[in-house]
Amino acid sequence: MAIDPESLGYEASPIEFSYGWRDTVLYALGVGASADHELDYLYEGRGPKVLPTFSTIPTFAVFDSLVDRLGCDRSGMVHHSQQTEVLAPLRPSGRLRIVGRISGLYDLKRLAMSVFVIEAFDEHDVPIIRGEVTLLLRNGGGFGGERPPKTERIALPDREPDFELREKVAPTQALLYRLSGDYNPLHADPQFASDVGFDAPILHGLCTYGYAGRALVRGACEGDPNKLAMLRGQFSKPVFPGETLIVRSWSEGERVLLGVCTAERPDELCLSNAYAVLR
């Protein structure tokens, strides 16, 4: 399918998204939370607390309508980067109004790039979440659009990290994470994964993103999820279920810089150009 250049600026119809504590607990399990360290996120008797990266789940309620309007070939769609701002503490249950728009559409000759801005408001119309999703669209270029603006390149400090967390990703982790709403067969079906060039199903990029956010809460936020105001990262390399994720962070001024790789490929960042802003 050819990308429609007229889709730039399109605003999706608002969608109501309701969730309960079971959804936040399922998400926490999906991004590796354990009873040893994160029982507050897994047991309703303690709230439960809500991981700040759960905010990615409701914002994707309007994702399909934005992709449909864009007119791209979904089989060539790659999640390039994610930025999420949590503007107010997330409750263990709620009803949100989700709105989204196609805010950027760029031509890279053979590839195209699109940016979605997706926001969530509570029952009182208070803004709760603002997400920015960047997609690479293979074979979608050549429509005569502008080149994308240059983005900041994050150089990690040449010193020991202030925090490091190593966690083995369960072989079934992608199958668990997908129950929060991302049913792309790339993360479950070996034949589909092989058909698109992977040796096996890969972990969702946003699952890796959730692991990183959870590590930040533990290592940089003193266990307080409300201190994580924003998290940004680029999905550079795949992670396979069964591998060991390594999350490192460095406090640099007003930001916490992140480097996420696997023990199996320590020289390749799977989440790059990543940083967080704390309250």
To the query of whether residue 124 is one of the catalytic residues in this protein, the response is: no
- One-letter amino acid at 209 equals Y
Nearest to 104 by CA among 63, 76, 146, 62: 146
CB 243 within 8 A of CB 169: yes
Token couple for 45: 């008797």
187 labelled catalytic:
yes
Which stretches of the chain are assigned E, i.e. beta strand? 15-19, 77-86, 94-108, 111-121, 127-137, 163-168, 228-235, 244-252, 255-262, 271-278
Of the residues 182, 204, 224, 267, only one is catalytic, namely 182
Taking a C-beta distance cutoff of 8 angstroms, is the pair 142, 260 a contact?
Answer: no
- Which of 23, 107, 187, 204 does the annotation list as catalytic? 187
| Angle (nearest 5°) at CA 13 between 12 and 16 | 115
Could you tell me the two tokens for 99? 């709105």
CA distances for 163 relative to 34, 110, 160, 236, 257, angstroms: 19, 40, 9, 21, 11
Q: 21-30 vs 205-219: helix axis angle to the nearest 10? A: 100
Measured in residues, the chain has a length of 279
CB 58 within 8 A of CB 17: yes
Q: Which residues are part of the catalytic machinery?
A: 182, 187
